[in-house]
């Protein structure tokens, strides 16, 4: 019998630290590797919508916490990674990679927000989510299934079983075993013996392409990792030190011209892709001393500007801000009486009260309580929250050197966000999400029944950036309300509380990429990751980012 407990109950809140107002530059050169694996996008006009499900899949109930102490072997003079792999993404939302198990090819979802690697068995029994009654195997939507009996390298671990349950009701049960796993088609260098789950029964809402999931997070989140003393896939790859303990993601946005664009996963360095050439670095925050789980980083704030020209062609792919030198800096959770120092004498400053707190690695749950004030209309845009959990304190507010001159910089103290490739959307502090939604022309509206912002697909978008290590990283307008085939807002109908429904696509309503975090983690999902080259340095326990908004 499985015993699951929330990871949040086992770990303290992450320590709050002050941020430096200066850009924290990473070493000038990071390795360009030959280990580059392509990520490919599935083009489906009416895909199974996976975003909320996969967000829940990032936060399964776990029991194991495994302290890690990995020292970096990468030098400051690293060159481009030699292992790169194409990534397949379902409608720009679920990124998948080709792997081999016992030499046979499969497709797995890659997920920087979890650690387990598992695959559906050829004998998998799909069960009803509610009644647990047997269903046809295809009802769970898996792709090619794995037959352990047809493998000469699979070794069962009879002392332990595999099980995961997710807060949206999905669950998977099976056995643990060791299998030879190859990442991409790069030969022996990326072939490892890996502990995996072989799921035999449960409920899953699949995409009919992927056969399972490959977790890329720290080993602390893996099922039975402590008891069996095994590591997640990336740590297994780096164990013998022949590959530097670094991997990177350069996700791409699918387009009508190239609907299968997914991006690249590089092992041991970075892919040779276009980016702005400058990296900043920021530490990965442990859940407790020397214990790492998620790729959680400190985010200093947000860089926001209204549409430069709302009357121009809506949904344009380029951004040309209006020049202005008097854009304000806002400090969230800071009282008016506390001075904020700025680099220019003409900058106006005011304080905005908001709920700001350090995120913990807890499962995201759907809100159990409706808003205290029910909107008069199901498509009402909520007003910003009037309460603050932040303790007032002085802080240095310095505009990022690359910020748009007409933007407002909103600093948020003690904000931790999870870097999660398996999450489509961006989960921001509620007041920040509300502010961004209100700046679309016309404004985004809030569907109370789904707790989701919707926006006309033809709306003029604001300019939105995330401030990390003193630098703004912007979200391309196409990613704020993705209209590519099969992407967010690309098809389907969401029902309104009046039963009428809101139709997506073809100039109607799109799902906004920025949503309220509510009581869950603040998350930087692939709508932001498609605009950066993200480097995961597991040796140094830090993240590095370089902008690549245009490519």
Mind listing the pLDDT tens digit for each residue in 439-470? Answer: 999 999 999 888 889 999 899 999 999 999 99
pLDDT in tens, 363-409: 333 333 333 333 333 333 343 333 333 333 334 568 999 998 889 99
Q: Is the residue at 102 inside a domain?
A: yes
Angle among Cα 138, 139, 145 to the nearest 5 degrees reads 35
Of the ranges 244-258, 445-459, 477-491, which one carries the lowest mean pLDDT score?
477-491
Average pLDDT over residues 399-422: 93
CA–CA distance, 154 with 121 (Å, rounded to integer)? 13
CA–CA distance, 132 with 143 (Å, rounded to integer)? 22
| Predicted pLDDT of residue 398 | 85
Residues 29 and 159 in one domain: yes
CA–CA distance, 260 with 87 (Å, rounded to integer)? 9
Respond yes or no: is residue 326 known to be catalytic: no
Q: Is 416 helix (H, G, I), strand (E, B) or coil?
A: strand
Residues 155 and 300 in one domain: no
Q: Is the residue at 46 inside a domain?
A: yes
Of the ranges 56-70, 112-126, 162-176, 206-220, which one carries the lowest mean pLDDT score?
56-70
Strand partners, 454: 445, 511
Residues 156 and 235 in one domain: yes
Label residue 167 left, alpha or beta by phi (over 0 means left) and psi (-120 to 50 means alpha): alpha
Q: 114 or 440, which is more confident?
A: 440
Number of CB atoms found within 10 A of residue 384's CB? 16
8 A C-beta contact, residue 180 and residue 191:
yes
CA–CA distance, 479 with 315 (Å, rounded to integer)? 10
Residues 480 and 504 in one domain: yes
| Predicted pLDDT of residue 225 | 78
Highest mean predicted confidence (pLDDT) among 139-143, 391-395, 419-423: 139-143
| Predicted pLDDT of residue 406 | 87
Per the residue annotation, which of 86, 116, 168, 420 is the catalytic one?
Answer: 420
Q: Is the residue at 542 inside a domain?
A: no
CA 134 vs. chain centroid, Å, equals: 33
Angle among Cα 517, 293, 129 to the nearest 5 degrees reads 60
Alpha-helical (H) ranges within 58-103 are none
Residues 251 and 357 in one domain: no
CA–CA distance, 161 with 229 (Å, rounded to integer)? 15
Q: Is the residue at 16 inside a domain?
A: no
Of the ranges 467-476, 490-499, 511-520, which one carries the lowest mean pLDDT score?
490-499
| Predicted pLDDT of residue 460 | 95
The token duo for 389 is 């959990």
| Predicted pLDDT of residue 419 | 95
Whether pLDDT at 98 is above 90: yes
Beta strand 32-42 with 80-90: parallel, antiparallel or unpaired?
parallel
Average pLDDT over residues 130-145: 96
Strand partners, 272: none
Q: Which of 232, 94, 302 is nearest to 536 (CA)?
A: 232
Number of domains in the chain: 2
The pTM assigned to this predicted structure is: 0.74
DSSP state of 58: T
Residues 113 and 239 in one domain: yes
The residue whose two tokens read 């109930």 is 61
8 A C-beta contact, residue 471 and residue 402:
yes
Q: How confident is the model at residue 302 (pLDDT cuts 50, 70, 90)?
A: very high
Whether pLDDT at 2 is above 60: no
Whether pLDDT at 12 is above 60: no
Residues 367 and 493 in one domain: yes
pLDDT in tens, 323-368: 333 455 554 433 222 222 222 322 222 333 333 333 333 333 333 3
Number of residues written out for the chain:
551
Q: Is the residue at 549 inside a domain?
A: no
Q: Is the residue at 226 inside a domain?
A: yes
pLDDT in tens, 23-71: 444 443 577 888 888 886 553 333 333 333 334 444 433 322 223 333 3
The token duo for 419 is 């870097």
DSSP state of 185: T
Half-sphere exposure of 120 (CA within 13 A, CB side): 30
Q: How confident is the model at residue 83 (pLDDT cuts 50, 70, 90)?
A: low
CA–CA distance, 237 with 250 (Å, rounded to integer)? 19
CA–CA distance, 460 with 480 (Å, rounded to integer)? 10
pLDDT in tens, 273-298: 999 989 999 999 998 888 899 999 99
Residues 140 and 88 in one domain: yes
Respond yes or no: is residue 168 known to be catalytic: no
Q: How confident is the model at residue 508 (pLDDT cuts 50, 70, 90)?
A: confident
Contacts of 333 (CB under 8 A, 6+ apart): 351, 353, 354, 356, 388, 389, 390, 391, 392, 412, 413
Per the residue annotation, which of 78, 111, 116, 479 is the catalytic one?
Answer: 111
CA–CA distance, 147 with 102 (Å, rounded to integer)? 10
| Predicted pLDDT of residue 334 | 32
Average pLDDT over residues 95-102: 93
pLDDT in tens, 199-248: 999 999 888 899 999 999 999 888 887 888 889 999 999 988 788 999 99
C-alpha distances (whole Å) from 177 to each of 109, 153, 184, 192, 343 are 19, 10, 21, 13, 58
| Predicted pLDDT of residue 366 | 31
- Cβ burial of 216 (10 Å; 0-12, 13-18, 19+) is buried
| Predicted pLDDT of residue 312 | 52
pLDDT in tens, 424-433: 889 999 999 9
CA–CA distance, 95 with 477 (Å, rounded to integer)? 21
Residues 445 and 479 in one domain: yes
| Predicted pLDDT of residue 222 | 83
Residues 210 and 308 in one domain: no
Beta strand 452-456 with 532-537: parallel, antiparallel or unpaired?
unpaired
Q: Is the residue at 316 inside a domain?
A: yes
Q: Is the residue at 434 inside a domain?
A: yes
| Predicted pLDDT of residue 94 | 77
Residues 106 and 166 in one domain: yes
- Residue 115 belongs to domain spanning: 23-283
Residues 436 and 334 in one domain: yes
| Predicted pLDDT of residue 81 | 59
Contacts of 372 (CB under 8 A, 6+ apart): none
């Amino acid at each position: 019998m499985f015993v699951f407990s929330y990871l949040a109950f086992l770990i303290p809140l992450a320590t709050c630290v002050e941020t430096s107002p200066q850009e924290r530059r990473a070493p000038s050169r990071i390795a360009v590797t030959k280990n580059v694996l392509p990520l490919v996008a599935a083009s489906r006009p009416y895909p199974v919508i996976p975003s909320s499900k996969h967000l829940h899949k990032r936060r399964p109930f776990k029991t194991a916490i495994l302290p890690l102490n990995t020292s970096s072997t990468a030098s400051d003079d690293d060159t481009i990674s030699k292992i790169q792999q194409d990534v397949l993404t379902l409608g720009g939302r679920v990124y998948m990679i080709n792997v081999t198990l016992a030499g046979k090819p499969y497709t797995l979802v890659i997920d920087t927000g979890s650690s387990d690697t598992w695959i559906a068995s050829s004998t998998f029994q799909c069960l009803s989510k509610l009644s647990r009654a047997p269903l046809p195997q295809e009802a769970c939507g898996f792709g090619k299934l794995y037959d352990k009996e047809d493998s000469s390298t699979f070794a069962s671990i009879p002392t332990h079983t595999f099980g995961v349950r997710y807060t949206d009701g999905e669950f998977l049960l099976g056995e643990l075993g060791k299998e030879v796993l190859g990442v991409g088609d790069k030969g022996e260098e990326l072939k490892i013996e890996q502990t995996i789950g072989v799921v035999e029964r449960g409920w899953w809402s699949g995409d009919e392409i992927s056969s399972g999931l490959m977790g890329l997070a720290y080993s602390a989140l893996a099922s039975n990792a402590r008891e069996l003393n095994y590591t997640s896939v990336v740590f297994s790859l780096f164990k013998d030190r022949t590959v530097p303990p670094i991997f990177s993601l350069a996700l791409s946005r699918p387009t009508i011209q190239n609907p299968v664009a997914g991006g690249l996963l590089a092992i041991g360095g970075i892919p040779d892709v276009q980016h702005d050439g400058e990296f900043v670095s920021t530490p990965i925050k442990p859940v407790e001393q020397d214990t790492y789980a998620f790729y959680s980083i400190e985010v200093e704030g947000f860089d926001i500007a209204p549409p430069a020209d709302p009357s121009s062609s809506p949904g344009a792919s380029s951004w040309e801000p209006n020049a202005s030198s008097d854009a304000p800096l806002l400090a969230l959770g800071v009282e008016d009486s506390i001075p904020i120092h700025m680099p220019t004498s003409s900058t106006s400053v005011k304080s905005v009260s908001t709920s700001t707190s350090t995120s913990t690695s807890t499962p995201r749950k759907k809100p159990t309580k409706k808003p205290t004030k029910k909107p008069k209309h199901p498509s009402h845009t909520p007003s910003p929250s009037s309460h603050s959990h932040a303790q007032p304190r002085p802080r240095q507010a310095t505009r990022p050197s690359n910020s748009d001159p007409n933007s407002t910089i909103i600093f948020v103290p003690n904000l931790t966000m999870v870097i999660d490739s398996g999450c489509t959307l961006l989960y921001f502090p509620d007041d920040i999400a509300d502010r961004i939604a209100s700046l679309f022309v016309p404004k985004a509206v809030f569907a109370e029944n789904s707790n989701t912002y919707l926006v006309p697909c033809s709306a003029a978008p604001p300019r939105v950036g995330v401030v990390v290590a003193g630098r703004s990283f912007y979200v391309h307008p196409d990613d704020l309300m993705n209209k590519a085939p099969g992407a967010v807002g690309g098809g389907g109908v969401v029902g309104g509380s009046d039963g009428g429904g809101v139709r997506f696509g073809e100039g109607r309503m799109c799902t906004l990429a920025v949503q309220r975090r509510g009581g869950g983690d603040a998350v930087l999902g692939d709508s932001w990751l498609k605009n950066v080259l993200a480097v995961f340095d597991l040796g140094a326990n830090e993240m590095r980012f370089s902008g690549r908004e245009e490519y």
